[in-house]
């Protein structure tokens, strides 16, 4: 039975920036600092053990790893690290939000791979060692990513994003579905993908209008109750969260590309309450709409 991480163990730190949610960490464990206690966060993380050895505990399963091994922690997975009491351990880790890769964009990559990875309906291997078929290619990608992060040449953000997507792509053939999903996979996959595609297209073309759950459910041919469960299972977020996210992204684009005022952008994106728009925009982007427009136009 999969354990549910406790709220008090959720890490409070933000990894990276709002518009670039990726950050590198170099971690060391030794007799002076022997452990990283159990915690979890919304981001995924990818680690290479550079030297020494340690013990990972991921969702209460134990993995002993050593120099050269790669470790992938999926979003919201409870994990801890402890020193193996041999030589000091040192690792290089990249913590990144799956939204950076487009986990909730609604395209085929999000629906088939990224969103199921977030919900852990699609389970990637957690540890890659030298004997794993994907190990050699994964190490090459990791080193390329590390070099790009260190040098930060123009366009390095695209390189990092491409490396992470490529890494997940080589894991897909070795991933597994959660056991309860296996019997119905073939029967439901094509039909549910088609229904999801219809409702996403409808939402996109009507994003500035009212979008009652009843209407969206009708597009899918589901009851409102089943539609809400279906949408969250496929997209990893509620329907209302997705609508808000799409409206915020549209408003952000209108602020920069069309030069609209915050009021004009909010109304054009479907927000009827300006104070609510300001509050949610600040939550999503870490700044006011006016600050966002100024910073983006000056970059």
Where are the domains positioned within the chain? 7-177, 183-236, 242-298
What is the predicted pLDDT for the residue at 187? 47
Residue 177's pLDDT is what? 77
- At residue 183, the pLDDT reads 47
- Mean pLDDT per block of 10 residues along the chain (299 residues) reads 38 63 91 80 94 88 94 90 82 95 86 88 93 97 97 96 97 81 52 80 90 94 91 82 90 89 94 94 90 83
- Res 1: pLDDT: 29
Intrachain domains 7-177 and 242-298 with the same fold: no
Name the superfamily (CATH) of residues 7-177. Answer: Jelly Rolls (2.60.120.10)
Residue 198 burial (10 A CB sphere; 0-12, 13-18, 19+): middle
State the distance between the two ends of the chain, measured CA to CA, in whole angstroms: 49
Q: How confident is the model at residue 42, as a pLDDT?
A: 87
Per CATH, the number for 242-298 is 1.10.10.60
Query: What pLDDT, on the 0 to 100 scale, is given for residue 299?
Result: 64
Between CA 166 and CA 155 the distance in angstroms is 17
Q: What is the pLDDT of residue 13?
A: 53
* Stated pTM of the model: 0.71
Strand 22-29: give its sheet, edge to edge: 22-29, 89-96, 44-51, 70-73, 127-128
- Write down the pLDDT at residue 249: 87
Contact status, residue 263 vs residue 244, Cβ threshold 8 Å = no
The pLDDT of residue 181 is 47
């Amino acid at each position: 039975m999969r354990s549910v991480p406790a709220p008090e163990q959720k890490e409070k730190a933000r990894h990276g920036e709002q518009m670039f949610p990726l950050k590198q960490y170099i971690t060391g464990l030794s007799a002076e600092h022997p452990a990283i206690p159990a915690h979890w966060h919304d981001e995924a993380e990818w680690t290479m053990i550079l030297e020494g050895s340690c013990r990972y505990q991921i969702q209460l399963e134990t993995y002993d790893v050593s120099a050269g091994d790669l470790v992938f922690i999926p979003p919201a997975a409870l994990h801890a690290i402890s020193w193996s009491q041999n030589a000091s351990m040192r690792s290089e880790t990249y913590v990144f939000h799956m939204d950076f890769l487009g986990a909730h964009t609604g395209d085929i990559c999000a629906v088939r791979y990224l969103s199921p990875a977030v919900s852990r309906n699609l389970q990637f291997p957690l540890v890659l060692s030298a004997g794993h078929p994907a190990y050699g290619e994964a190490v090459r990608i990791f080193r390329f990513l590390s070099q790009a992060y260190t040098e930060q040449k123009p366009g390095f953000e695209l390189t990092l994003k491409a490396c992470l997507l490529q890494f997940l792509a080589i894991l897909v053939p070795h991933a597994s579905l959660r056991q309860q999903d296996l019997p119905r996979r073939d029967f439901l996959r094509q039909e549910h993908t088609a229904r999801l595609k219809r409702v996403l297209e409808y939402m996109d073309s009507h994003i500035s209008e009212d979008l009652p759950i009843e209407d969206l459910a009708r597009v899918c041919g589901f009851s409102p109750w089943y539609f809400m469960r279906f949408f969250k299972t496929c997209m990893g977020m509620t329907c209302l969260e997705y609508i808000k996210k799409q409206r915020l992204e549209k408003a952000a684009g209108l602020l920069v590309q069309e030069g609209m005022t915050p009021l004009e952008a909010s109304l054009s994106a479907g927000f009827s309450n300006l104070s609510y728009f300001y509050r949610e925009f600040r939550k999503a982007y870490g700044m006011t709409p006016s600050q966002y427009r100024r910073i983006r136009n000056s970059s």
